[in-house]
Amino acid sequence: MLQTAGLSLEQAPPISIPFKYFFTASLLLIVASLLLVVQGSDLVTSRWSPAALGLTHLITTGFLAQVMTGAMMQLLPVLAGTPVSAVVAVNWIIHITLLAGTGVLVIGFLQSQHLMLILGAGILTTAFIVLFTSTGIALLKSVRQQSRARSLGIGWVSIIPTVMFGGYLVASLSGLIHVDDLQPIITLHLSWGILGWVGIILFATIFELVPMFYVTPTFNKVLKQWLLPVVFLCLVIFTVSNYFLGEYLDNSLLLIALVFFIIGLSVLKNIYNRKRLIIDTTLLYIWTGIASLLIATVVWLSAGSDLLIGGLLLGGVCMTIPIGIIYKVIPFLCWFHLQALQIKKRKLDYSAPSMKYFIKEKHAKYQYFLHLSALCLFFGALLISSELIILVGVLFTCSSLYLFKNILYAYIAYHEEQNILCS
């Protein structure tokens, strides 16, 4: 008898879980945008200002971690056939600790409170340990240890050095340990976090979702299977050489920039060759994200402004692509769960609305234009006048509020339909 214990192709987990993550993500984006309004001028003057550090973590451990965890919980059953065990309880812990950890850490940065920094880092570490263990167990239980899941796996492994170097920085900033030069540790923390954790997971997800959503040819096998592990390997070399072989340090990071440039181009080429010609708003988000990545790598390879690179990566890539993913995933989940409920309830006279009903195309598009205007103005503020930064914050706030409203409307529409089905 074939053992398929734990193998389930159900669309796990319950819909409340992704909604919880996506709601929280949009709320954290609103907070980040408001921070830009209130303390934006500090941000432009130094990338190491408390406001800049707070903003960076609101976007990464806040917005991004919430979206990526929500999406990961959906992708696991599809990719590996094994959902996370005790999915509701585990996600409750991950969600709360991610949110609390980010909140406390950001307050620690903004108020230079050492205790808050230590506490925030501790709570976030707990969140990542639970996340890492639960998804790791699910992957190990998978009948087929997939190469597809490999990149996602190494992306999550990259969180370990990110957290370790982050913890080292917090310990140093809090005076628990003494470090002469923090700069190399900051670079390592930043590199593992943005290029390793975020970069690898985001593009491993794109490699899976782009062919599925836009019916493109599948990505080149070598590119899909090996480029992201190359990024990981380069980060390892970079870390090791930082301690032993300083002169190779820059080269391995430059190689990563080159790899991401190749990945960006191949995603564009892949989308260009798509069979589905319709251009929906989610595609605009993906294009904008990839264009930002390509510009960021060019600025990086030509030794341009760090602030511009950071803005392109955080605002252009990390804030943009996940919104596109949210707009595809939420309507589908609403429709799918209603259909499953209909079958369970045997309500044959019920007909679930199509995906476009839950988030209307025009509302997704309005938010896109707000988001794009904010991005363009942000780069204008960096290149022309830093005084524009408050206006950038206002535009980002409007855009994030619109995102929150769109998710909320989808949630309300889902529950109205669910009530019809259960009545």
Partner 1 sequence: MENISKPMSQDHRHCDEIFMDLEQAVVRGEWRKTETIAEHFITAMTRHFQVEEQKLFPALEEKTSQADGPVRVMVMEHDQMRHLFNKLSDAIAQQSKETALGITETLLVTMQQHNMKEENILYPLADRFVSNLAEEIAHSFTESA
Cβ–Cβ under 8 Å, residues 21 and 32? no
Sign of CA dihedral 10, 12, 14, 20: negative
The distance of closest approach from Cβ of residue 129 to partner 1 in the complex, given in angstroms and rounded to an integer, is 28
Q: How far apart are CA 32 and CA 159, in angstroms?
A: 22
Tell me how far, at minimum, the Cβ of 318 lies from partner 1, in Å: 24
Q: H-type helices in 58-180, by residue range? A: 65-80, 87-110, 114-141, 147-157, 159-173
Task: Give residues 295-354 in contact with partner 1 (rule: CB under 8 A).
Answer: 328, 332, 335-336, 339-340, 343, 351, 353-354
> Which residues between 203 and 242 bind partner 1 (CB under 8 A)?
208, 212-213, 215
Continuous H helices in 302-388: 306-311, 320-345, 355-358, 361-383
Q: CB-wise, 17 or 119, nearer to partner 1?
A: 17
Which tokens in the block code for residue 180?
């002469």
Of 6-14, 32-40, 184-192, 393-401, the segment contacting partner 1 by CB under 8 A is 6-14
Among the listed ranges 44-52, 54-62, 270-278, 303-311, the one in contact with partner 1 (CB under 8 A) is 270-278
Of positions 49, 113, 126, 146, contacts partner 1 by CB under 8 A: 146
Using CB atoms within 10 A of its CB, is residue 217 exposed (0-12), middle (13-18) or buried (19+)? Answer: exposed
Q: Considering the complex, what minimum distance in angstroms separates the CB of residue 79 from partner 1?
A: 6
Q: Determine if 49 is a binding residue for partner 1 (CB under 8 A).
A: no
CB proximity list for 80: less than 8 A, separation 6 or greater:
138, 139, 142, 144, 146, 149
# residues near partner 1 by CB under 8 A? 38
- DSSP, collapsed to helix, strand or coil, labels residue 146 as coil
Q: To the nearest whole angstrom, how small is the minimum distance from the Cβ of residue 137 to partner 1?
A: 18
Question: Considering the complex, what minimum distance in angstroms separates the CB of residue 308 from partner 1?
Answer: 36
Measured from the CB atom, is 21 or 213 closer to partner 1?
213
**Residue selected from 269, 345, 356, 405 as contacting partner 1 according to rule CB under 8 A:** 356
